[in-house]
Amino acid sequence: MSEAPRGVRPRNAASLVILRRDAGGLRVLMGRRAPKNRFMPDVFVFPGGGVQREDARQPSVSELGDTARTQLEQRASPRIARALGVAAARETFEETGLEFGRVVDGRLEPDLSALDFIFRAITPPESPIRFHARFFAAEAERARGTVRSNGELLDLDWFALEQARELPIIDVTEDVLAEVERRERGERAERVPLFSYRNGKRVLRR
């Protein structure tokens, strides 16, 4: 793998962990990235992607809740914090068909109050493609629509946490699943966990 050029900064990105409960317990929606993708091909991930310029200006049904907004704004401007929430909902709509909000003229106006900010991760410095990703969680009952793939995520399905851990996933996804499980038990850290690399070693800070 070639090294990233000096000065490359991670691009803002957002993912949404959708939670659904049934007789078998808690499940999360995940899909497999297409083999043609340059970034993490053929691994299972949560819906998500990079923040787009128009995300900051997109109308919404509601704004971020106070807790999520305050936590996001500790490391981002108010404009970027809001754009991250919009990106998480927009990418979810595009990749899965689920609407957290309402669709007007083909565009999602997101219900940002449905999003809970739960995790942060930064791609290793040596990676040729870098992201500063924020992970949100939302209850499936807040969404409308039926799960369908647009081709970006394949094999979309609801997985129990134990099943999800057995899929081809990366270390960040493992830690997000662990955080979801902790929150399900009622355990919440004082600050949102951060996954990153230092001197080639993975570091998880709470």
Question: How does pLDDT run across 116-175, given as a tens digit for each residue?
Answer: 999 999 998 888 888 999 999 999 999 999 999 998 999 999 999 999 999 999 999 999
Residue of higher predicted confidence among 124 and 5:
124
The tokens describing 8, both together, are: 């490359």
Give residue 38's pLDDT band: very low, low, confident or very high (50, 70, 90).
Answer: confident
Which residues lie below 8 Å from residue 198, measured CB to CB, with a gap of 6+? none
Q: How many CA atoms lie within 13 A of 32 on its CB side?
A: 9
Q: For residue 90, what pLDDT is reported? A: 98
109 vs 25: CA distance, rounded Å: 30
| Residue boundaries of the structural domains of the chain | 11-141+148-205
Question: How does pLDDT run across 85-98, given as a tens digit for each residue?
Answer: 999 999 999 999 99
**DSSP codes of every residue in 150-183:** -SSEEEEEEEEHHHHHHSS--HHHHHHHHHHHHH
Q: For residue 2, what pLDDT is reported? A: 41
Burial of 179 (0-12, 13-18, 19+ CB in 10 A): buried
The tokens describing 48, both together, are: 């998500």
Give residue 7's pLDDT band: very low, low, confident or very high (50, 70, 90).
Answer: low
Express as a percent the part of the chain with pLDDT over 90: 79
Q: For residue 159, what pLDDT is reported? A: 97
For 103-151, give the secondary structure using H, E and C: EECCEEEEEHHHCEEEEEEECCCCCCCCEEEEEEEEEHHHCECCCCCCC
The architecture (CATH level 2) of 11-141+148-205 comes to Alpha-Beta Complex (3.90)
Question: How does pLDDT run across 61-110, given as a tens digit for each residue?
Answer: 999 999 999 999 999 999 999 999 999 999 999 999 999 999 999 999 99
